[in-house]
């Protein structure tokens, strides 16, 4: 077993299910201890328990609230002795055409994805800088942030914003050997995409050269790469994991 995250401590937001859970599991498989932060603290604890109490803990955290993000990082430091990897993954969708989208639906999506990733990056970077042993931050963008999707003016704007945040933060944090990179998944089978009407799912499938949706594990593999020293000379990058869709 390769243990590329041996003795590292990772925090994964939105890790109670879906892509975040897969990332938490894979990180533990590769030697890390993980704190799962999720809006639903009980769900986060349950997922962590399923991974293993020695190596994973759950913590209730709404990523839109700076105090809660700081509490999550402090919990990781108390539980496992620091923070080496931060994965800003928590997310929601509130899809609607711009004509129908309410201001509240716009604000909610920007708050969770963009403000949440900014708070996670800001506070994790501060913790890592203080520790003085570098670190890796992985921000979850989306291919929606590259091309803009119909019905997702809120989500596409937030996910494009995550790219700008990643690059600007990478420049600010490089001198402290803290790397900041982003992933742009394509169509991945999770709760987030399960609610999609069948005709929309089919139209998206038609755009994918590899002719299938991706799995959560295929995103987790890329997160592991960016979190570990396997990507030690990469910062400010955006990796598309889309089966070739919209390349
Ligand atoms: P998911 O299964 O819905 O998981 C997202 C998790 O984030 C849920 O546990 C959710 O909790 C949590 N969350 C939502 N708002 C939060 C908040 N304010 N604070 C803390 N946790 C919060 O979604 P997923 O598909 O795994 O998506 C994970 C990430 O990948 C998201 O950033 C998403 O935008 C991105 N992504 C997904 C796809 C895809 O095709 N699935 C494609 C591109 C990018 P609740 O269940 O309580 O809301």
The residue to mutate among 19, 72, 208, having the most atoms of ligand 1 within 8 angstroms of its beta carbon, is 19
Tell me, yes or no, if 155 is annotated catalytic. yes
pLDDT at 2 over 70: no
pLDDT at 114 over 80: yes
Q: The domain that contains 164 carries what CATH number?
A: 3.40.50.720
Computed over every residue of the chain, the mean pLDDT equals 97
The residue to mutate among 39, 140, 220, having the most atoms of ligand 1 within 8 angstroms of its beta carbon, is 39
How much is the average pLDDT of 159-163?
Answer: 99
Of the candidates 181, 191, 183, 190, which has an alpha carbon nearest to the alpha carbon of residue 236?
A: 181
Distance CA 117, CA 163 (A): 10
Is residue 124 within 6 Å of ligand 1 at its C-beta? no
Q: Which residues contact 72 (CB under 8 A, 6 or more apart)?
A: 11, 13, 35, 37, 59, 61
The proportion of the chain whose per-residue pLDDT surpasses 70, expressed as a percent, equals 99
Considering the candidates 155, 158, 240, 245, report the single residue annotated as catalytic: 155
Identify which has the larger pLDDT, 1 or 75. Answer: 75
What's the structural domain count of the chain? 1
Give the model confidence (pLDDT) of 79-98 as tens digits.
999 999 999 999 999 999 99
Token code pair at residue 96: 């609607």
Predicted pLDDT at 195: 83
Residue 135 lies in a domain: yes
Predicted pLDDT at 156: 98
* Residue located nearest, by CA, to atom 23 of ligand 1: 192
pLDDT at 21 over 90: yes
Residue 162 lies in a domain: yes
Distance from Cα 19 to the centre of ligand 1, integer Å: 8
Eight-state DSSP code of residue 180: E
Residue 141 main-chain phi, psi, to 5 deg = -95, -150
Range(s) of the domain holding residue 72 = 9-240
Residue 245 lies in a domain: no
Of the candidates 83, 73, 78, which has an alpha carbon nearest to the alpha carbon of residue 133?
A: 83
pLDDT at 35 over 90: yes
Residue 1 lies in a domain: no
Distance from Cα 43 to the centre of ligand 1, integer Å: 13
Is residue 190 within 6 Å of ligand 1 at its C-beta? yes
Residue 215 lies in a domain: yes
Residue 247 lies in a domain: no
Residue 2 lies in a domain: no
Distance CA 121, CA 115 (A): 10
pLDDT at 38 over 80: yes
Give the model confidence (pLDDT) of 197-240 as tens digits.
899 999 999 999 999 999 999 999 999 999 999 999 999 999 99
Residue 21 lies in a domain: yes
pLDDT at 1 over 70: no
Predicted pLDDT at 184: 99
Distance from Cα 20 to the centre of ligand 1, integer Å: 8
Predicted pLDDT at 194: 86
Give the model confidence (pLDDT) of 212-222 as tens digits.
999 999 999 99
């Amino acid at each position: 077993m390769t243990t590329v995250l041996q003795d590292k401590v990772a925090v994964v937001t939105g890790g109670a299910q879906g892509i975040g859970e897969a990332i938490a599991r894979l990180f533990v498989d590769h030697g890390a201890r993980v704190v799962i932060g999720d809006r639903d603290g009980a769900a986060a604890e349950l997922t962590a328990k399923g991974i293993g109490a020695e190596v994973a803990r759950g913590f209730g955290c709404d990523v839109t609230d700076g105090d809660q993000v700081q509490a999550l990082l402090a919990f990781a430091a108390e539980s496992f002795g620091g923070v080496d990897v931060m994965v800003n993954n928590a997310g929601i969708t509130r899809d609607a055409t711009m004509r129908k989208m309410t201001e509240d639906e716009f604000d909610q999506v920007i708050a969770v994805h963009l403000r949440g990733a900014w708070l996670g990056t800001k506070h994790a970077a501060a913790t890592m800088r203080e520790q003085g042993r570098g670190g890796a931050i992985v921000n979850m963008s989306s291919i929606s942030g590259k091309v803009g999707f119909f019905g997702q003016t809120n989500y596409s704007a937030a996910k494009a914003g995550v790219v700008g945040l990643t690059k600007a933060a990478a420049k600010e944090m490089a001198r402290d050997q803290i790397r900041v990179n982003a992933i742009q998944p394509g169509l991945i089978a999770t709760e987030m995409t399960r609610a999609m009407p069948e005709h929309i799912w089919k139209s998206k499938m038609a755009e994918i050269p590899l002719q299938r949706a991706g799995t959560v594990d295929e995103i987790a593999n890329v997160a592991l790469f960016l979190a570990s020293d396997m990507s030690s000379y990469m910062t400010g990058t955006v990796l598309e994991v889309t089966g070739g869709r919209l390349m």
